[in-house]
Structure 1
């Protein structure tokens, strides 16, 4: 497709599903052939079509196909792929200067983003924020800060957790393939506790929170030694692990356990934070107030930016030069983040996330009633998932079924993502800019795909 004829993103992009070729189409296949000779095989794609434009609730590929977006770049484009406030601020900054390195010549937009995060985050007391390039880098820095502030080495994480692909964050991540296999040895002093996963807790959901918290206490006191643990790191809703919403009461109990032992609580809000769940931070649902909180993904509307926000005395425990990076807090990304905050506030996007969630949960509950392969429906706000199981019962994970449903959705013009420790979860992360009509159409496509694939699975 010639450059002059490429569709333009933003408000003018037609908000309609449109499939005009096979998936992927001929132009995407040409580009995929180039990819295979220039990009390592380890870099894959969920839906291998090359994007020409995106905005609102659609992604348009180079062959002219328009897909309904239920992925948001894995929760990156929460406010939309081309939100005007983000685009305008970033474009204006590009005209001023692209970068200087905050460690050499600081600029005001970095301070503006830090002050907004300090104001919005549920961390108690006086706060500080550092800006970085990614979610994994935010987690790494949070661990560094916790260790420096406590003088302790140990980090406790949870089963089904995902925290990144760097050496340390791979070590913190639970799932072996594809994230860890062949990449060891891993970082030491990482300890893993069971997650309060209601659907899969051995004794059932009623006692899940209490028993999981008891297991955490046993790990800290008997196996590791609480005096050796710098921090407990937890996602308020697990992302790659399958959108696991911890059993009610578990997160507050984790916070209490940490406080009683002088252990810091780090909440990883990289996927769940920045308005995705209908709150600015998902931990606010249970009034959890962490010592440190990490953000990224939706923070800058698609530009690379992450952050660690924490109690001032902890953040200031690291000596000068111990934090930072050449590209960290790039001014264009900072302006984009300020545009994200503007879009959330002026567009009523917290309320919009709740509306989208209510619609999705209601429709997916109907799907679960109709099809036993839909074992669980869960989520908060516009962060919702279904867990798929084999039709003969016993909650046996059905990853092949999840993959088939996802492929059928893609062919029919709906982008969905899979997740979960067993690969059997379909997760839905529509941009908050999606229309009601597109959301409804996407859910209808999903329902038809589930019905067709569930029928074949039952044969």
Structure 2
């Protein structure tokens, strides 16, 4: 199958062509089966072709396939926003808008905070990833490959160290960096918002330090700065609860949603304090396809399945299996390159490092190839692409999860 008509600037991790998927398994066009620990990069928390979601798509497709909400409202959009508002675990009235993607949610959040605060500066974090559109590129805490050759980016945006037990940056170090930022680089009165991932995705599944998160919330309240939580990858049960910010003991002002919101159908959202979402004038928010009826139907079915009981059980099962295996591998010294386990819940990364602690990206590349040949799809992450991120569907059958971990174990043992 020729790929000559596809831009060569699009990078792919695995040189295969997929054709069929069912829960945590996929098959390529040659009929080869793979266990999927990529999950569409966090999109498929409920697996490939979940029957409830497929049925919702089919039913909606017989009623209304599209209408632009800015032209005339439709029932799926209205129902979904009501359900989403109830699903967000915060104590304030929630309002929001639907988008086509997580990056589009981030873009609209920037418009909202500018309108609400009259300020323009944004503080993001090292290792962050918030999208590939022009404004979100500026938020990303990594140059290659996202910012290369694209010229001057919209701003002003500043970056701080991301404090986490997974990268060795402490709460005090991050707070001192923040103190320096406002002493040397920018007046705090010019800052509209901080944007942060409760668990960094592209950054390597690094969990945000709880003490820092709470200090940041207090700082934002004191300085009238808004706090945006990017839950695009960590949300909808990935960490074993609805959203990862709950473990931090804080409530963000705005929350970015996407990926697993609709079982694989393109959809995103920005939700938060109603007063903020109502700041811009009529027509300031919207989009032709934003909140497409079929995507809304898929998201409604997703929420039907994502009960707290299910999320906790799925997350606990997957976390226990991964943590147990990793502890066993370390105890047995399975591989000299096997490093730490990052992340929380079912959002886990496995670091590959050399004996001196430096990243081992070449071994990770080798691992991806070995695993694919053996029937397991994996995805890299981290600044040096040295952390394997595990994103198997939360609904993966226990036997399939164990089979995938068996393959991962065998491949780790072969690294050289």
C-alpha offsets along residues 151-190 of structure 1, whole Å, 9 cap, x if unaligned?
0100000000001101001111121111111112111211
Is the CA contact (8 Å cut-off) linking 1:170 and 1:180 kept in structure 2? yes
Secondary structure of the equivalent of 2:199?
Answer: coil
Aligned twin of 1:196: 163
Q: Which moved more, 1:420-429 or 1:357-366?
A: 357-366
In structure 2, what is the equivalent of residue 243 of structure 1? Answer: 205
Q: Which residue number in structure 2 is paired with residue 181 of structure 1?
A: 148
Q: Alpha-carbon deviation of 1:441? A: 1.1
2:19: which partner in 1?
Answer: 52
1:380 is the counterpart of 2:344: yes
1:376, 1:279 → 2: CA distance? 23
Among 325, 333, 336, the alignment partner of 1:363 is: 325
User: Hey, what does 2:314 align to over in structure 1?
Assistant: 352
d(CA) in 1 for partners of 2:58, 2:217:
42
Equivalent of 1:268, from 223, 230, 233? 230
- 1:232 corresponds in structure 2 to 194
Q: How does 1:27-426 map to 2 (within 5 A)?
A: 31=1, 34-35=2-3, 37-201=4-168, 208-345=170-307, 348-369=310-331, 370=333, 371-391=335-355, 393=356, 395-426=357-388
Counterpart Cα distance in 1 of 2:182 and 2:56: 46
Query: Partners of 1:83 and 1:65 in 2: how far apart?
Result: 21
Partner of 1:3: none
CA change 1:346–1:65 in 2 (3 A) is farther
Structure 2: how far apart are the matches of 1:292 and 1:218? 26
- Retained in 1: the 8 A contact 2:167–2:206? no
Q: Is the 8 A contact 2:204 2:342 kept in 1?
A: no
8 Å CA contact 2:226–2:253 kept in 1: the answer is yes
Residues 218 and 123 (structure 1), Cα distance of their counterparts in 2 relative to 1, 3 Å cut:
farther
**TM-score, normalising length: structure 1:** 0.88
Partner SS, residue 101 of structure 1: coil
Q: Would you say the 8 A contact 1:237–1:282 is kept in 2? A: yes
Q: CA RMSD in A?
A: 1.4
SS at match of 1:141: helix
- SS at 2:287 equivalent: coil
| TM-aligned CA distance change 1:140 to 1:123, over 3 Å | farther
Q: Structure 1 residues 315, 161: closer, same or farther in 2, change over 3 A?
A: same
Name the residue aligned to 1:14.
Answer: none
Contact between 2:166 and 2:343, CA under 8 Å: does it hold in 1? no
Give TM-score scaled by structure 2 length: 0.96
- Superposed, 1:410-449 pairs within 5 Å as 410-449=372-411
Distance 1:264 1:122 in 2: 18
Deviations along 1:254-291, whole A, 9 cap, x unmatched?
A: 21121111100000000000111111100111222000
Offset at residue 94 of structure 1 (A): 0.6
Work out the CA distance in 1 between the residues paired with 2:367 and 2:49.
28
Which structure 2 residue ranges, 5 or more long, are not aligned? none
Q: Does the aligned pair in 2 maintain the 1:368–1:377 contact within 8 Å?
A: no
Task: Provide the C-alpha distance between the structure 2 equivalents of 1:446 and 1:147, rounded to a whole number of angstroms.
Answer: 46
Alpha-carbon distance in structure 2 between the residues aligned to 1:68 and 1:51 = 12
Deviations 1:7-35 (A, max 9, x none): xxxxxxxxxxxxxxxxxxxxxxxx2xx11
Corresponding pairs, count: 414
Measured after TM superposition, the shift of residue 222 of structure 1 is 4.3
1:368, distance to aligned residue in structure 2 (A) = 3.1
Displacement of 1:44: 2.6
Contact 1:270 1:295 in 2 (8 A): yes
For residues 413 and 45 of structure 1, what CA distance do their matches in structure 2 show?
17
